[in-house]
Amino acid sequence: MLQFNNDPTLPKPSFPGSHMVMDDHYVFISGLTVADLSNGDAVRGDIQEETRLIMRALQRMLVQEEGSLADVIRVDIHLTDLGDINSVDAIYAEFFEPGRYPARTCTESAHLCGGGSIEITMMAKRATHD
């Protein structure tokens, strides 16, 4: 059965969608930018701090669903400047066990909602309960 949840610590989505959609096997998390986070304005324009703040929020969202970043199987990253990829990777890699990185796509998008430099979307395996 599908569940459609909004993270109570984030502002309600300004778009017709949910922060998270879960089925029996997976958690799908909508793309997050610093504009989605209450403290995001403070780091806007610093790609490493934007990445760190978004990854921490995604990590917290997974914990709310009894998961962790170790359960992530796919990540999509959208950057306003693909030239920032090395700076992003330096922070991104800190959140995963070396050699156990999720499948990933990274694209350049000229404009992201809210004016941030990065948007990250995740798909993770759900914890199983017997």
For 27-85, the pLDDT digits (tens) are 999 999 888 876 666 677 789 999 999 999 999 999 998 999 999 999 999 999 999 99
- H runs (alpha helix) in 8-112: 47-64, 85-92
- List the domain boundaries for the chain: 3-125
For 81-110, the pLDDT digits (tens) are 999 999 999 999 999 999 999 999 999 998
- Helix %, strand %, coil % for the chain, to 5? 35, 25, 40
Q: Which CATH class is domain 3-125?
A: alpha beta
- Is residue 6 within 8 A of residue 18, CB to CB? The reply is yes
